[in-house]
Amino acid sequence: MPEVLHASFFVALGLFIVTIIFQTTMFHQKQQRKFNFRNELPFELVQGIDNRYMHYHYILLFIISLAQIIFAYNYFPTLVRWYEYLLIGSFVLSAIMLYLLYFIRVFEVKRHIIVVLLEALSVITSYFALGVFAQFNIWDKQVLPLAVGLYIIAFVALLLLFNPKLRRWPIMDKEFMQDGTVVITRPRYFLLALYEWFFIFLHFLIFIIMYIYLYV
């Protein structure tokens, strides 16, 4: 249903933009400083705001993920090829993991890392599957340059997961004060935070590409 597809796309994208603006504004008012996307995690953006409004943010994030699932469900008139199943399945998983990134704290280390990995791998798989779809589309137009671009993004994103520095993400910086005390601080560029925001960006980028590909 085209109407459902249009509505779910604009609801998800529009609410995400509104939510980010709302969250960063509330964070600044509550913490008296700007949220730093270079070294602070998505769940910290939500939990750094006033507790009175926290549940509203989780509701908005749930609606965003649900709208994307509805979008994916209506993306194809019917599923035929394996890459269509792969695209829808990986995108839906990515939408679910997106919500959990805001929900599961980094202190719950194992669960948080599992969510990060699932989000990253599902996003990468979505790019690969959409690339195959753009190359061999049986429904409409085949766009080889788009497919190549999607393959490149998927390959580069996959390579980033093998960054050996990722193993050192829990290691904090140390500052030695004049009185001899040691202050533990988070690095200016915190790899885990950078990766999480990077894959959130890639998730919404492919969301937009999927929509544009159908109608341009």
3-state SS of 32-83 is CCCCCCCCCCHHHHHHCCCHHHHHHHHHHHHHHHHHHHHHHHCCCCCCCCHH
3-state helix, strand, coil in the chain (%, to 5): 70, 5, 25
The rounded distance, in Å, linking the Cα atoms of 24 and 204 is 18
Cβ–Cβ under 8 Å, residues 15 and 67: yes
Q: In this structure, which amino acid lies at residue 6? A: H
Check residue 215 and give its pLDDT. 79
Q: pLDDT tens across 36-60, in order?
A: 898 888 988 887 777 777 788 889 9
Burial of 191 (0-12, 13-18, 19+ CB in 10 A): middle
Q: Provide φ and ψ at 80, rounded to 5°.
A: -120, -55
Residues of the chain with pLDDT under 50: none
Looking from the CA of 39 toward its CB, the CA atoms found within 13 Å total 12
The rounded distance, in Å, linking the Cα atoms of 162 and 167 is 10
Check residue 202 and give its pLDDT. 97
Check residue 199 and give its pLDDT. 97
Picking from 53, 44, 129, 144, the residue whose alpha carbon sits closest to that of residue 93 is: 129
Cβ–Cβ under 8 Å, residues 101 and 119: yes
Is the full-model pTM beyond 0.85?
Answer: yes
Check residue 177 and give its pLDDT. 61
Grouping H, G, I as helix, E, B as strand and the rest as coil, residue 185 is strand
Cβ–Cβ under 8 Å, residues 76 and 88: yes
Check residue 173 and give its pLDDT. 67
Cβ–Cβ under 8 Å, residues 154 and 127: yes
Check residue 30 and give its pLDDT. 84
Check residue 146 and give its pLDDT. 94
